[in-house]
Amino acid sequence: MSGAIWNLLSFIVALGVLITVHEFGHFWVARKNGVLVKRFSIGFGKALLRWRDKQGTEFVIAAIPLGGYVRMLDERIDPVLPQFKDLAFNHKTVWQRMAIIAAGPAANFIFAVFALWLMYMLGVQTMRPVVANVAPQSIAAQAGFKPNQQIVAVNQHAATDISSVNLLLVEQIGRDSITLQLRDMLSTEQTTVTLNTSEWQFDPEKQSVFDSLGLQLARPQVQTKIAQVAPDSAAERDGLLSGDIVLRIDDEDISDWSQLQRLVTNAPEQVLQFTIDRDGQTMQLQVTPGRQRADDGFSQGILGVVPAVGEWPEGVLYTRQYGVFAAVGAGLSHTWQLTRLSIAMIGKLLSGDVSVKHLSGPISIAQGAGTTASIGLVAFLSFLALISVNLAVINLLPLPVLDGGHLMYMLVELIRGKPVSEKTQETGFRFGALVLLMLMGIALLNDISRL
C-alpha cells in the first residue's frame, strides 16, 4: 500500500473516531434532557448507510468524512406541532442547552483520557531527557548545563520523559526565562538552572526544541558503518555495501557520521575518494554523490545510505506502564498537559510569539495519522489523544459557528434574561465562518508548502 493511501485511510479512521465521539456527546446529553434528535450524521453529502432506532433518530454515515452533526428538533428550523414543543431544543432551559452544546468538547476530553489510559496500560517505550552534550555559546551553555544531567521539571511542572519535557518547553515560547530542575545521573544531586530565552529562536519545522536551546540528548551513537544502501542510489552505483565502515574521505579521517554528511552534502556530483573497511580489508572507492534540491533552494549532495547505530546509553530508554488505576492518573495528567499546551499555543498565535506559518491542516494531520498508525497502536492512541484535545479546545473558542460561540450567546442570554437576537447571531455566524475559513486556508497553504 502506498504511503499516500495509508495516510488517507489512517486520517479517515482517526477523524471518524473523533467526530463520532464529539457528536455522541451532543447526542447523549440531548436525549438525557428530553430533546428529540432527528439525525446523527458522521460525514456530509450523500448517505452511504442509514438506519433508525426506536426513538426515531436517523443514523447516517455519509460520503464526505470531513465532519459530522447532530440535528435536533428546533422550532427555529422546523415546524413543530404543539404537542411536541417540549421535545424541541429551543424550549429547554439555558442551562440544559449549554450542557448539550458543551457535551461535544467534553466527550473529546474524556476520550483523550481514555486513549491515554489505554496507552499507559499497554506500556509506552520512551526516553529520559538526559543531556549528552551542550553546544558552546548556546542558551543552555550560558545557563551552566552539563552533560549527564536529566531534566526533571520545567517551571515547577514535573517532567517524566522526553515527551513531557518537549511539551513543557514548547509551552514556554515567548517567555524571557525558563527554570529547569536537573538531576545528575551519577550522583543524583539536584540543581536548578535558569535559561535566558529573551532571544530564543525556535523553528519547529527545522529543528527540535532541544537543538534550539543547544542541548543534545543521550541517544544511541551513530556509527560510521553503513547499515543500509538504498536501491538505485549513488552509493549502490559506485559500489558501497551494507557493513562497510567509512575510514576516510579524500584526506579527512572520519570519526563520526556528521563529518561524512557534511562532506557529501557539500559535494553534489563531485568525485570523492572513500577509504573503507570491508570485512577487515581496507579498500578505496571513487564515489560521486547525487544532487538534490534542499528546502532553501540550494543543491546538495546525496549518497543514499543509512548509518548503523549503537546501543542506548544505560538508564535512558525505559517503558512507562501502569496498572488499571494508576493509568487513570497518568491519562488525566497527560490530558491536562495537552490542554494547557493547546490553550497556550492559541494565546501565542494571537500575541505573535508563534507564527501562523506553523499552523497545520488536513494534509499534516493525515501524515501524522499515517506515521503513528505505522508505528503501532500505542503511538496511534497518543496521536488520537492529541488531536482530540485540540478539537475540544478549538471548539470551545468563543467564535460563532463553533460550540464556544453558541455557549457565548447562551451566557449572554443567561445574563440578560433573554436570547440574543436572530439578526445578531446570524451576523456573528457569518463572521465566525469567515475567520474559520481563513484559518483553514492558511493551514492548507502551509501543508502544501511543506510537501
CA nearest to 6, candidates 444, 382, 450, 371? 371
Give pLDDT tens digits for 160-178. 889 899 989 988 888 899 9
Q: What is the pLDDT of residue 345?
A: 87
Q: What is the pLDDT of residue 387?
A: 93
**In this model, does residue 135 exceed pLDDT 60?**
yes
Phi then psi for residue 321, to 5 deg, are -145, 135
What is the rounded CA–CA span in Å between residue 348 and residue 440?
18
**In this model, does residue 2 exceed pLDDT 80?**
no
β-partners of residue 39 are 58, 71
Query: What would be the CATH architecture of the domain defined by 124-219+312-320?
Result: Roll (2.30)
The grid coordinates listed for 214 are 543547544
Phi then psi for residue 125, to 5 deg, are -80, 125
Give pLDDT tens digits for 186-234. 878 899 999 999 989 888 877 888 999 999 898 888 889 999 999 989 9
Give pLDDT tens digits for 52-80. 998 889 999 998 888 889 999 998 888 88
Fold of 222-309: Pdz3 Domain (2.30.42)
**In this model, does residue 1 exceed pLDDT 60?**
no
The grid coordinates listed for 348 are 501565542
C-beta atoms surrounding 369 within 10 Å: 24
Q: What average pLDDT score do residues 91-107 get?
A: 95
Q: What is the pLDDT of residue 354?
A: 78
What is the rounded CA–CA span in Å between residue 290 and residue 269?
5
Angle between helices 403-416 and 422-450 (to 10 degrees): 160
**In this model, does residue 243 exceed pLDDT 90?**
yes
Per domain, the residue ranges of the chain are: 124-219+312-320, 222-309
Q: Which of 248-252, 292-296, 433-437 holds the top average pLDDT?
A: 248-252
Q: What is the pLDDT of residue 297?
A: 62
Q: Do domains 124-219+312-320 and 222-309 have the same CATH topology?
A: yes
Handedness of CA 389, 394, 398, 404 (dihedral sign): negative
When mean pLDDT is compared across 131-135, 391-395, 437-441, the lowest value belongs to 437-441
What's the mean per-residue pLDDT of the chain? 89
Q: What is the pLDDT of residue 226?
A: 92
Q: What is the pLDDT of residue 77?
A: 83
Catalytic residue among 23, 199, 314, 426: 23
What is the rounded CA–CA span in Å between residue 403 and residue 99?
11
Give pLDDT tens digits for 327-357. 999 999 999 999 999 998 888 888 877 777 7
Phi then psi for residue 399, to 5 deg, are -115, 120
Give the C-alpha distances (Å, rounded to integers) separating 169 from 173, 174, 312, 345, 419: 7, 11, 24, 12, 43
Q: What is the pLDDT of residue 326?
A: 96
Judge whether 23 counts as a catalytic residue.
Answer: yes
Q: What is the pLDDT of residue 296?
A: 58
Q: How confident is the model at residue 451 (pLDDT cuts 50, 70, 90)?
A: low
Q: What is the pLDDT of residue 239?
A: 92
